[in-house]
Amino acid sequence: MSFDRRLVLLGLAAGLAGCASGRPSNSAPLSRADWAGLDFASWTDVEPEYLLYPGDEIEVATPSAPELTRQMKIGPDGRISLPMVGHLMAAERTVTELERDATAGYAPYLLRPEAEVTLRLAGPLKVWIDGEVRNPGAFDMPGDIDAHQAVVLAGGFLPSAKPNQAALIRRGPGGVRMLRVIDLRPRHAEPIRMRRGDIIFVPRSTLGELAAFFTQFRAALPIGFSYALNGGYAST
């Protein structure tokens, strides 16, 4: 599943707005007021129906014509190739949806064109880590890990990070997007298991924002003013 960076930033803004209002920050779901005007649904821990993904290994069986049964891996472009049918888009579709498309593709050629799709092996669990981490980007998760461990894979937090106000964006049931603020500080982090397509955005701390401001406007500062940022403090 893909999300654009603008959506992540909007979600972060909503989370920080909730913090400013005095709402508890430790893994608190955002209220409707927090995300009003943004395309986020109410948070739920109910897992949505599985969507196929590039790299997944599947079997497409045709019981009425076993010779057409194929085992294959979904390509990087999200497509598979079936005999007689040709290319079909498989990524971002449920098993049921792909069965329906394959059945329709075989309909002109088979008297009983029912197709049965089986997920044999799921591909890598890919998530996105962005914001104030050392190596932001997309990562393949090495098994069942939580949100804090995912940030460790991204090199950990920068000194300017505000880990207790990180934003988690996730696909919910029906494909809706959900957002909540999570606390990723060591010994405080809730063990939130990562799901495929999750986004974690770590915002800057107040001092981190000041550092960026001072760097940008250093030439305009009064003569004799000096500053240093080291370990999260400023001195003059």
The tally of domains found in the chain comes to 3
For residues 151 and 195, membership in a common domain is answered with yes
For residues 162 and 98, membership in a common domain is answered with no
Per-residue pLDDT of 12-51, as tens digits, reads 444 433 433 333 333 444 444 444 445 678 888 888 889 9
Per cent of the chain over pLDDT 90 is 46
pLDDT average, residue stretch 164-177: 87
For residues 86 and 183, membership in a common domain is answered with no
- Is the per-residue pLDDT at 5 higher than 50? no
DSSP the chain: ----HHHHHHHHHHHHHHHHTT---TTPBPPTTTTTTSS-BPP--PPPPP---TT-EEEEE-TT-GGG-EEEE--TTSEEEETTTEEEE-TT--HHHHHHHHHHHHTTT-SS---EEEEEE---EEEEEEESBSS-EEEEE-SS-BHHHHHHHTT-B-TTB-GGGEEEEEE-GGG-EEEEEE--STTT----B--TT-EEEEPBPHHHHHHHHHHHTGGGSPTT---EESSS-EE-
Residue type (1 letter), 66: P
Where is the domain boundary, 79, 100, 121? 121
- Is the per-residue pLDDT at 221 higher than 90? no
For residues 84 and 195, membership in a common domain is answered with no
Report residue 226's pLDDT band, with 50, 70 and 90 as the boundaries: very low
The predicted pLDDT at position 233 comes to 36
For residues 131 and 236, membership in a common domain is answered with no
- Is the per-residue pLDDT at 89 higher than 50? yes
Do 42 and 192 form a contact (C-beta atoms < 8 A)? Answer: no
pLDDT average, residue stretch 194-208: 83
The domain that contains 136 carries what CATH number? 3.10.560.10
- Is the per-residue pLDDT at 230 higher than 60? no
For residues 79 and 181, membership in a common domain is answered with no
The predicted pLDDT at position 206 comes to 62
The predicted pLDDT at position 95 comes to 96
Task: Kindly report the pTM of this predicted structure.
Answer: 0.67
pLDDT average, residue stretch 98-120: 96
Specify the higher pLDDT residue, 173 or 210.
173
The predicted pLDDT at position 40 comes to 77
Q: Which of 9-23, 137-151, 197-211, 217-231 has the highest mean pLDDT?
A: 137-151
Taking all residues of the chain, what is their mean pLDDT, rounded to a whole number? Answer: 78
The domain that contains 102 carries what CATH number? 3.30.1950.10
Where is the domain boundary, 84, 104, 121? 121
Which of 49-63, 147-161, 170-184 is predicted least confidently? Answer: 170-184
- Is the per-residue pLDDT at 201 higher than 50? yes
- Is the per-residue pLDDT at 3 higher than 80? no
For residues 138 and 200, membership in a common domain is answered with yes
For residues 131 and 38, membership in a common domain is answered with yes
For residues 128 and 199, membership in a common domain is answered with yes
Which of 19-23, 62-66, 71-75, 189-193 is predicted least confidently? Answer: 19-23
Do 145 and 85 form a contact (C-beta atoms < 8 A)? Answer: no
The residue behind tokens 């962005």 is: 130
φ, ψ (nearest 5 deg) of residue 182: -125, 150
Domain of 224 in residue numbering reads as 206-236
The predicted pLDDT at position 234 comes to 38
For residues 80 and 66, membership in a common domain is answered with yes
For residues 101 and 161, membership in a common domain is answered with no
For residues 216 and 182, membership in a common domain is answered with no
